[in-house]
Amino acid sequence: MEYYMQDIPANDFLAIFVISAMVILFGMMYAAFFTLVKLKLIRQSFMIAAYLSWLALVGCMYYLSTLLRVEPYTMKVLIGAMIGYLFFPHIVYFVLDKVHARYEH
């Protein structure tokens, strides 16, 4: 199967730029809220804000992929990346917690 680059309409450039910025913003918010809750610097109820940020990130990624007209394989990779981005902070925190418990106490 050959892949040919598709033209992106000129009126989509601003939307692509804004949605790309929102992807960065929501990804940063998810990581920040998750980290601050796990470090107990903010209340546990802020974990809802982290997951809402992740949902907004997924929505923005989906919309961005439709604007960019990505191939089906690329869409599957993006879905895998979003699932990984949801679970990776949990895995990192779990491992760091176990290492801390083993070597610090």
30-89 pLDDT tens trace: 999 999 999 999 999 999 999 999 999 999 999 999 999 898 999 999 999 999 999 999
pLDDT band at 9 (very low <50, low <70, confident <90, very high): confident
pLDDT band at 3 (very low <50, low <70, confident <90, very high): low
- Give the residue with greater pLDDT, 100 vs 22: 22
103 CB-side CA count, 13 A? 6
Domain boundaries, the chain: 11-104
Enter the pTM of the model. Answer: 0.85
